[in-house]
Structures are given as C-alpha cells and as structure tokens.
Amino acid sequence: MKGNKKIIWLLCIIILIVLTACSASAETLNKEGRVYVDEGDLEQAIESFSEAIEADPDYVEAYNNLGNSYRKTGQLELALNYLDQAIELDPNHYKAFKNRGKTMVALGEYEQALADFSRSIEIRPDYDQPYYDRALVFSELGNLTAAARDMEFFLEISEDQELAELARAKLKEFQGR
C-alpha cells in the first residue's frame, strides 16, 4: 500500500510538471509572437501564436494576439474566429473585445464595433484605447457629440503622447474648430 501511494504521488508530480511546462511553452511562444509583431513580421507572429495555442488550447492571450495579427493582415474572418474564441475562453478579456471591435470596423459593422468597444470599456474603464476607437466610430456614424466626449476622456486618461496628438486634432474636427 505504501508503495502505491508513492507511485501515485510521483505520477501526480509528473503530471503537474508536464502541465506547467506546457503552459510555460505557450507563454514563451506567445512572447515570441509579440516580438515578431513589434518587428512587423506578422507571418512569423501568426506562426508563433498558432504554436502557442497548440501547446495550450486554453491560453487566451494567444487567441487574442492571433486574431489581432490576422486583422492586421486583412484576414478578417480568421481574425473574428480567434477573437471570438478568446472571448469564449474569457468573457472579460477587454483587449479581445477591443480587437474584435477594430475588426468589426474593418468589416463596416459599426453598431457591433460600438458594442464591442463599449464592452471593453465596461470591463476596464481605465483602458484608453477603446475610447479612441469608439470616438472614431461615433464620428463615422455622425454622432459628433459622443465622438468628442470619448476623445476628451481618452485624452484625460491616455499616456500615449503620439496618439494624443492625433486625438487632439480629431477632437477639434469633432467640435467643428
């Protein structure tokens, strides 16, 4: 009996090590993919994110990053597929909602884009990017009051100085100045 307990305990430790290694491998592949994105090599990024998902099919960040990379390459249906999977795995993944919103804009689905940006904001009100993106959609739909409101809020909370310059110009445009 004592020998069986040792074998069971050893098997549990081995399983835990394998599961941990699998997750670490997915995390490493995801980080590698982010480096490729930063370098502008979206083809390699897509490969790394896909491998991360193979290593750990529940690794939500890889789905989000893969979907966003597909969006950037113009493969919008694939983007939606992976972003939907990210949201299914984590219904509070604010970046996946923001990225799906950007994909919806590219598809001309402005109402769905507004819903996705709004959900991202609802989950994480201090995340600046969806305010900027939602302002652009409101502007596209002719609601300049809402566009100006979101752009003003973006400028209040954003630390992105480069994007803030664009936001200030857009805000003046929305306000008719």
Distance CA 168, CA 177 (A): 11
pLDDT of 7: 74
User: Between the CA atoms of 47, 83, 155 and 167, what dihedral angle is there, to the nearest 10 degrees?
Assistant: 70
pLDDT of 39: 97
* Neighbouring C-beta atoms of residue 59, cutoff 10 Å: 23
Domain 2-100: homologous superfamily in CATH: Tetratricopeptide repeat domain (1.25.40.10)
Residue with tokens 């993106």: 133
CA angle 164, 119, 69 (to 5 degrees): 65
With a cut of 70, list the residues of the chain below it in pLDDT: 1-3, 9-24, 177
Distance CA 33, CA 37 (A): 6
DSSP code of residue 42: H
Q: What is the pLDDT of residues 152-176, one digit of tens each?
A: 999 999 999 999 999 999 999 999 8
